[in-house]
Amino acid sequence: LPADRGSNTEIEDRSETGMAKEALIAPSILSADFARFGEEVRAIDEAGCDWVHVDVMDGHFVPNITFGAPVIKAIRNRTDAFFDCHLMIAPADLYLAAFAEAGCDGLTVHAEAGPHLDRSLQTIRNLGKKAGVSLNPATPESAIEYVLDRLDLILLMTVNPGFGGQAFIPAVVEKVRRVRALIGDRPIRIEIDGGVTPETAPLVAAAGADVLVAGAAVFKGGSVEAYRANIEAIRSAADAARA
Ligand code: DX5
Ligand code: ZN
């Protein structure tokens, strides 16, 4: 795999404008066929994904349950791509070491999931992982104003977390602009999660997003060829809007 694609464990690939050069595509394996989980991870790798987005849900912070660290560990060897772990769990701190140990490269916690966001972010960096924070659609960007220097990634939810295949919430596009201004020239990526398609990707890409998660829009068609076409459609729509 080319250095700037699948084997991307380097999060800071940036131009002079502060934004990363190309939008990265992170398929969410929440939409994979769980009976063929390892093969599905292999398939998106072969299809040219940049990162693998791994959605962990606890049935408490969000109204759905997915999988935990042992399952992530089992699929980790199917690709060299950056494992972008989105923790929709509360509390998160107790489990960060286990997800690091399972082979995640980045750990993202929700600002709404606990009272000590600063501590959670310090823990992630102390584990040697990239630190991310996620904001639900209704959470203002002021929630992260005082932790910017502890962040590698800001994940802005464009659906209410819990399920794949939901409709994109357009009000978040303005938040993407505000977060882009807030981070200034810090090497922090802005990732978008929820309802990303070739139609919605340009809206967030133009506003300053540089990593796009997509579940339903990638995992349709059921073959490497279909996944490749789906990834390319999102990537080219985003890159055209960023140009
Ligand atoms: C939602 C998850 C998302 C989800 C996105 O709670 O965090 O990553 O898989 O799925 P789509 O792209 O189908 O909206
Ligand atoms: Zn997610």
Type of residue numbered 224: V
Q: Which among 172, 164, 160 has a CA at the least distance from the CA of 208?
A: 172
Q: Let me know if 55 is a catalytic residue.
A: yes
Mapping DSSP to helix (H, G, I), strand (E, B) and coil, where does residue 118 land? helix
pLDDT higher than threshold 50 for residue 220: yes
- Mean per-residue pLDDT, 204-211: 97
Give tens-digit pLDDT for 1-41: 333 444 445 565 555 555 667 899 999 999 999 999 999 99
Query: Ligand 1 atom closest to Cα of 216?
Result: 13
Instruction: Specify the pLDDT at position 11.
Output: 66
Query: What length does the chain have?
Result: 243
**DSSP tag of 20:** B
Mapping DSSP to helix (H, G, I), strand (E, B) and coil, where does residue 65 land? strand
Mutate to test the pocket of ligand 1, among 166, 172, 219 (most ligand atoms within 8 A of CB): 166
Give tens-digit pLDDT for 131-146: 999 999 999 999 999 9
Mutate to test the pocket of ligand 1, among 55, 67, 108, 136 (most ligand atoms within 8 A of CB): 55
Give tens-digit pLDDT for 88-118: 999 999 999 999 999 999 999 999 999 999 9
CA distances for 155 relative to 1, 45, 131, 190, angstroms: 25, 22, 11, 6
pLDDT-derived band at 87, boundaries 50, 70, 90: very high
